[in-house]
Amino acid sequence: MKREAGLLLHISSLPSKGGIGTLGKEAYDFVDFLVKAKLKIWQVLPLVPTSYGDSPYQSVCSTALNYYFIDYDILKEKGLLRASEYNLKIQNPKVVDYNFLFNTKLNILYKAFKRFNLDNEFLKFVEAGEYKDFAIFMTLKKLNNFKPWYYWNNEFQEWTQELEDYIISSYNDDYLFFVWTQYEFLEQWNKLHNYAKINGINIMGDMPLYVSYDSVEVWKHKELFLLDENKKPTLVAGCPLDCFSEDGQLWGNPIYDWQYMQKDNYSWWNQRIKSAFNLYDILRIDHFRGFDKYYAIPYGSINAKGGWWEEGPSFDFFKDKLNLNIVAEDLGLIDDGVIELMRKVNYPGMKVLEFAFDGNKDNDHKPSNFKENVVVYTGTHDNMPLYQYILDLDEDNLEIFKNDLKNECLLLNVKYRGRSAKTLCKTVVELAFASKANTCIIPIQDLLGLDDSTRMNFPSTLSTANWSFRMSKNMLKDNVLTELLDYIIKYDR
């Protein structure tokens, strides 16, 4: 395995026009920056459409693509939009305003669609039907004021072939529009992805373990989930209480019927993974431990305290996927079953340096304790930015943090810089590059030493602060490029 490094920055966080990052010029500029810095990987979060809560881990469809990322300027170049139709005043360009997007983007995209020539290539795309379920589901959502499917009119709550035919024939314009959003996204994405590939950049995508209750999968394929006769989940997903949360985390996603899935050799999952590798070069699977054992909580619970562990499909699921370029997010409560599964699949797991410097010499996240076959991060999208984490440490824990960091620096021949929270942050970033991990990924917030206002997500919370961080155009300055080049050369990445 060669030693590589990259950055974690979601598409939504790019400094594009229109209120959210897109697949336009700023995405190409970011690829150019990665190339100049001699980095090899761009990691993004799930590209799926977001819905209630704006989370890419709670989507209306596990394989559809987020039309918010479609770039207006590219549509203008194609003659599908005029600048005056999308140059809207953005209240705060430093954050994503999802309410603004919900109220504007679909209407603007619809104008572009009405000017789009429904040519043979597009009609073949429609006929292939890969995004038919998504388009029908979204057409029904529009008919029902974008409410969750379980609040729709009764005649729409149950999928039937007759309902599908009725929607396609009676609301063909809306149906084709939602298919077109996928067609246009893929055209823009594939050009960007090819540009990255030509320039030696691999894109690492992200696959959530679970799907949302309000999703086309649950609406149409109820047999895949543990639901009662009223189509309500019997069990939902989450994780147990730990030092970060005394009530645990209640995610609320319906639990899979793994016994049913096993009978047809996980065909739904196999198609989902195949679709992901059509988009990405590397695939990170979130909450990997849920394949070995998953935490199940009775539906209607107010927290995760009453849950329990159930057996998952474990190695049986992965036995025909061992050659895939998968990264396993093996964080959280790790037991012997997960360790054994990781040994069998031999995917790289994850180590997070924000967890490393706690005074415990056996801590698995310490660089001196992990092996080469891992991806090392300073933090993840769910963590507080590293700079803020250091700032918030009390006097005793800051001393522990510094002592541990100093020892690790000595072991890896890294210069320890401990004058301030900023220099400590830079030291941890350098330590990630210096570590023996084959792959090193740095979230952009940690590379730049940004504070908690730039945090991507506060797990198990609903807030306009979540998923809304945006980078400014002037953040990636020459000194940042110089630092990265120094790390790449010094640590042979």
User: Which residues lie below 8 Å from residue 90, measured CB to CB, with a gap of 6+?
Assistant: 17, 18, 19, 97, 100
Asked if 414 contacts 430 with a C-beta cutoff of 8 angstroms, the reply is yes
User: Which residues lie below 8 Å from residue 361, measured CB to CB, with a gap of 6+?
Assistant: none
Asked if 251 contacts 236 with a C-beta cutoff of 8 angstroms, the reply is yes
Asked if 214 contacts 147 with a C-beta cutoff of 8 angstroms, the reply is no
Nearest to residue 63, comparing CAs of 218, 215, 276? Answer: 276
Q: What is the DSSP string of 291-318?
A: GTEEEEEETT-SSSTT-EEEE--THHHH
- What span, in angstroms and rounded, lies between the C-alpha atoms of 14 and 284? 21
User: Which residues lie below 8 Å from residue 475, measured CB to CB, with a gap of 6+?
Assistant: 444, 448
Annotated active-site residue 382? The verdict is yes
- What span, in angstroms and rounded, lies between the C-alpha atoms of 476 and 277? 29
| Residue 489 C-beta-side C-alpha neighbours within 13 Å | 8
The tokens describing 479, both together, are 């000194």
Instruction: Give me the catalytic one of 130, 382, 452, 483.
Output: 382
Alpha carbon 378 to chain centroid distance?
A: 17
The angle subtended at Cα 392 by Cα 387 and Cα 394, nearest 5°, is 130
Q: What is the DSSP string of 188-204?
A: HHHHHHHHHHHTT-EEE
Q: What is the CA radius of gyration of the chain?
A: 23
The tokens describing 307, both together, are 């849950």
CB count within 10 Å of CB 279 equals 17
Alpha carbon 488 to chain centroid distance?
A: 26
Instruction: Give me the catalytic one of 26, 54, 184, 286.
Output: 286
User: Which residues lie below 8 Å from residue 407, measured CB to CB, with a gap of 6+?
Assistant: none
Instruction: Give me the catalytic one of 329, 330, 354, 430.
Output: 329
Phi, psi for residue 137 in degrees, rounded to 5 = -60, -45
Mind telling me the catalytic residues? Answer: 286, 329, 382
